[in-house]
Chains A and B, each alone.
Chain A
Amino acid sequence: MAALRILVPVKRVIDYAVKPRVNKAQTAIETSGVKHSMNPFDELSIEESVRIREKKSYPHGVDEIIAFSIGPPKSVDTLRTAMAMGADRSIFVETKEGEEVEPLAVGKVIRELVKREGINLVVCGKQSIDDDAGQTGQIVAGLMGWGAATQASKVSFGEKGVEVEKEVDGGTETVRSQLPMVITTDLRLNEPRYASLPNIMKAKKKKIDKISAEELGVSLERRLKTLKVIEPPPRQGGGKVDDVDGMIAKLKELGAI
Chain B
Amino acid sequence: MASIAKILRPAVQRATSTARPAVRPARPSRIYQHARPLSATSRRRNDTVDISDIPPTPITHLSEIEAAMADSVSKFANDVIAPKVREMDEKEAMDPSIVEQLFEQGLMGVEIPEEYGGAGMNFTAAIVGIEELARVDPSVSVMVDVHNTLVNTAIIKYASTELKKKWLPKLATNTVGSFCLSEPISGSDAFALATKATKTDSGYKISGSKMWITNSMEADFFIVFANLDHSKGYKGITAFIVEKGTKGFSIAKKEKKLGIKASSTCVLNFDDVEIPKENLLGKEGDGYKYAIGLLNEGRIGIAAQMTGLALGAFENAAKYVWNDRKQFGQLVGDFQGMQHQIAQSYTDIAAARALVFNAARKKEAGENFVQDAAMAKLYASQVAQRVSGLAIEWMGGMGFVREGIAEKMWRDSKIGAIYEGTSNIQLTTIAKLLKSQYTS
Q: A77-B64, A77-B67, A194-B105 are in contact. Are A200 and B72 (CB under 8 A)?
A: yes
Q: Which of B118-126, B365-373, B375-383, B387-395 contacts A (4 or more CB under 8 A)?
A: B118-126
The dominant DSSP class at the B interface is: helix
- For chain B, give the interface size range: 20 to 34
Encode B125-143 as 1/0 by CB contact (under 8 A) with A.
1000100000000000000
B100 within 8 A of A: no
**Nearest CB in chain B: distance from A87 CB, A:** 14
Our pick among B71, B105, B114, B125 for the contact of A196 (Cβ within 8 Å) is B105
Question: Measured between alpha carbons, how far is A196 from B118 in the docked complex, in Å?
Answer: 11
Q: A80-B64, A194-B72, A195-B72 are in contact. Are A201 and B105 (CB under 8 A)?
A: no
List, in ascending order, chain B residues with CB within 8 A of A196's CB: 72, 104-106, 119
A197 within 8 A of B: yes
**Nearest CB in chain B: distance from A212 CB, A:** 23
Contact between A197 and B107 (Cβ–Cβ < 8 Å)? Answer: yes
Residue of A with least CB distance to B126: A197
Q: A81-B71, A84-B72 are in contact. Are A197 and B64 (CB under 8 A)?
A: no
- Max count, chain A CB within 10 A of own CB: residue among B67, B118, B119, B125: B119
Question: Measured between alpha carbons, how far is A196 from B76 in the docked complex, in Å?
Answer: 10
B11 within 8 A of A: no
**Nearest CB in chain A: distance from B285 CB, A:** 36
Question: Measured between alpha carbons, how far is A198 from B65 in the docked complex, in Å?
Answer: 11
Contact between A197 and B71 (Cβ–Cβ < 8 Å)? Answer: no
Contact between B119 and A81 (Cβ–Cβ < 8 Å)? Answer: no
List, in ascending order, chain B residues with CB within 8 A of A81's CB: 68, 71
Our pick among B64, B68, B71, B118 for the contact of A198 (Cβ within 8 Å) is B118
Contact between A77 and B75 (Cβ–Cβ < 8 Å)? Answer: no
Question: Measured between alpha carbons, how far is A195 from B75 in the docked complex, in Å?
Answer: 10
List, in ascending order, chain B residues with CB within 8 A of A195's CB: 68, 71-72
List, in ascending order, chain A residues with CB within 8 A of B300's CB: none
Encode B71-103 as 1/0 by CB contact (under 8 A) with A.
110011001000000000000000000000000
Q: A77-B64, A81-B68, A204-B65 are in contact. Are A197 and B121 (CB under 8 A)?
A: yes
A190 within 8 A of B: no
A177 within 8 A of B: no
Q: A194-B76, A201-B114 are in contact. Are A37 and B71 (CB under 8 A)?
A: yes
Our pick among B68, B104, B118, B121 for the contact of A84 (Cβ within 8 Å) is B68
List, in ascending order, chain B residues with CB within 8 A of A84's CB: 68, 72
Encode A21-59 as 1/0 by CB contact (under 8 A) with B.
000000000000000010000000000000000000000
B332 within 8 A of A: no
Contact between B65 and A200 (Cβ–Cβ < 8 Å)? Answer: yes
Question: Measured between alpha carbons, how far is A204 from B69 in the docked complex, in Å?
Answer: 12
Q: Enumerate A186-215 residues with CB–CB distance to B below 8 Å.
A: 194-201, 203-204
Contact between B67 and A197 (Cβ–Cβ < 8 Å)? Answer: no
Contact between A198 and B106 (Cβ–Cβ < 8 Å)? Answer: yes
Contact between A200 and B76 (Cβ–Cβ < 8 Å)? Answer: no
B181 within 8 A of A: no
Residue of B with least CB distance to A37: B71
Contact between B68 and A200 (Cβ–Cβ < 8 Å)? Answer: yes
Residue of A with least CB distance to B72: A195
Question: Measured between alpha carbons, how far is A195 from B119 in the docked complex, in Å?
Answer: 12
Contact between A198 and B69 (Cβ–Cβ < 8 Å)? Answer: no
B110 within 8 A of A: yes
List, in ascending order, chain A residues with CB within 8 A of B72's CB: 84, 194-197, 200
Encode B50-71 as 1/0 by CB contact (under 8 A) with A.
0000000000000011011101
- Max count, chain A CB within 10 A of own CB: residue among B65, B71, B75, B118: B71
Question: Measured between alpha carbons, how far is A84 from B119 in the docked complex, in Å?
Answer: 12
**Nearest CB in chain A: distance from B178 CB, A:** 21
List, in ascending order, chain B residues with CB within 8 A of A204's CB: 64-65
**Nearest CB in chain B: distance from A140 CB, A:** 28
List, in ascending order, chain A residues with CB within 8 A of B110's CB: 197
Q: A198-B119, A201-B121 are in contact. Are A77 and B68 (CB under 8 A)?
A: yes
Our pick among A77, A80, A201, A203 for the contact of B120 (Cβ within 8 Å) is A201
List, in ascending order, chain B residues with CB within 8 A of A194's CB: 72, 75-76, 79, 105
5 A-B pairs closest in CB distance: A197-B106, A197-B119, A196-B106, A195-B72, A198-B119
Q: What are 27 A-B residue pairs whose CB atoms fall within 8 Å in the complex? A: A37-B71, A77-B68, A80-B68, A81-B68, A194-B75, A194-B76, A194-B105, A195-B68, A195-B71, A195-B72, A196-B72, A196-B105, A196-B119, A197-B72, A197-B105, A197-B107, A197-B110, A197-B119, A197-B121, A198-B109, A198-B117, A200-B65, A200-B119, A201-B114, A203-B68, A204-B64, A204-B65
Residues of A whose CB lies within 8 Å of any CB of B are 37, 77, 80-81, 84, 194-201, 203-204
